[in-house]
Amino acid sequence: MANETIPRLESYDDVALTKAFGELKLQFNQEAMLSGSPEGRESLRVDWLGRKQGRLTQISSIWLKTAPDSAKRSLGQRFNEFKAYIEQSIAQELSVESAGSGRPLDAIDISLPGTRSRIGIEHPLIKTMNEIVAVFKSMGYSVGVGPEVETDYYNFESLNFPPNHPARDTQDTLVVAGQERKALRDRLLMRTHTSPVQIRTMEQQAPPVRIVIPGKVHRNDAADATHSPIFHQVEGLCVDTNITFSDLKGTLDHAMKAFFGSSVKTRFFPSFFPFTEPSADVQISCIFCGGKGCRKCKHSGWIELLGCGMVDPAVFGAVQQKQPGYDPKKISGFAFGMGVERIAMMKYGVSDIGQFYSGDMRFLEQFA
């Protein structure tokens, strides 16, 4: 391509000049079209615009210098136009090249390894939640969910927390603003626990019921190493004829052994929840020291893990309007609720709850 001979000008009249520059333009355009790679475009540039050997330099020396004075003016004008055209075309080609992803459009090296998309892993909290749910599923429980924005009625009143009852204070509630004109029971809030889904489930389904409910809950708690304003719970509910406290004990004892290992023991302490009577806190023998006493269990040998109890007749009373089958004289049931973060922290030895929400892959990938 380089150093193509410059055609001789036959004459300097308009027709001859138009023809000569037309041919040069055609030649340039053809070469430009074929100059696919960055290297090709660079050699095109040198070939045409190069100072010493470039074709424009040659044209100017052969045509202009030998032209008779009468033709110099129009030849010079056409030459300048042609030069501007070449410069512009070459500048445009180069800018197309650099406007891409930094990579020349046609310089794709198919032998390079591709950009690998990272395969996600199950988040440790979801994993823990799924493992807990799986234990209950294997005992015949179904799985349910409910809304995170809840009404006062489902979060509190139906669960036997009357308005102004001090037990509401144990659940620092985030309420949705601007609802003063609504009746208290209809006001919206962020659910403080998964227990409202007990009521929603019973309203939808006549007894018997065996269900676990994993989900996100919200409380107006300041974040520290063990608290987060958003956390997760797994709720459980079992209602049938003749359900007793020993069913509750047997079920939770089995669940803890299935989850933490068969050597784990459980014990039940009296407690209070408005929606269960009697209520209990469940402790498991310390999974770190086996019950001998260590720093993790504050030398007691036991770790408190969940709340539970027999469903309070007042709770059945609340759903009876919609499902008359929940007659506390004919059926009974138990319920339980546990914090997923607390269990995951214990199981994986995590000391700061905030790490679960940090999005730090170095932390999260350890649980893959």
Which residues are 335's β-sheet partners? 237, 309
Q: What angle do CA 355, 357, 362 make, to 5 degrees?
A: 55
**Binding string to ligand DAH for residues 317 to 336, with x set by CB under 6 A, is what?**
------------------xx
C-alpha span between 53 and 182 (Å, rounded): 88
Identify which of residues 62 and 139 has a Cβ nearer to ligand DAH in the complex: 139
C-alpha span between 283 and 228 (Å, rounded): 22
φ, ψ for residue 283 (rounded to 5)? -115, 150
Q: What is the nearest approach in angstroms of ligand DAH to the Cβ of residue 235?
A: 5
- Binding residue (CB under 6 A) for ligand DAH from 128, 158, 195, 285: 195
- Count of chain residues binding ligand DAH (CB under 6 A): 11
Q: What is the nearest approach in angstroms of ligand DAH to the Cβ of residue 341?
A: 12
- Binding residue (CB under 6 A) for ligand DAH from 231, 248, 337, 342: 337
Q: What is the nearest approach in angstroms of ligand DAH to the Cβ of residue 279?
A: 6
C-alpha span between 37 and 28 (Å, rounded): 16
Q: Which of residues 199-228 bind ligand DAH (CB under 6 A)?
A: none
C-alpha span between 72 and 83 (Å, rounded): 16
Identify which of residues 272 and 363 has a Cβ nearer to ligand DAH in the complex: 272
Identify which of residues 93 and 281 has a Cβ nearer to ligand DAH in the complex: 281
Identify which of residues 245 and 367 has a Cβ nearer to ligand DAH in the complex: 245
- Binding residue (CB under 6 A) for ligand DAH from 146, 207, 274, 309: 309
Please name the amino acid found at residue 37.
S
Q: What angle do CA 200, 202, 208 make, to 5 degrees?
A: 150
Q: Does 276 bind ligand DAH (CB under 6 A)?
A: yes
Please name the amino acid found at residue 287.
I
59 near 51, Cβ under 8 Å? no
Q: What is the nearest approach in angstroms of ligand DAH to the Cβ of residue 358?
A: 24
Q: Does 231 bind ligand DAH (CB under 6 A)?
A: no
CA 119 to chain centre: 13
Which residues are 273's β-sheet partners? 276
Q: What is the nearest approach in angstroms of ligand DAH to the Cβ of residue 362?
A: 32
Binding site for ligand DAH (CB under 6 A): 193, 195, 235, 273, 276, 307-309, 335-337
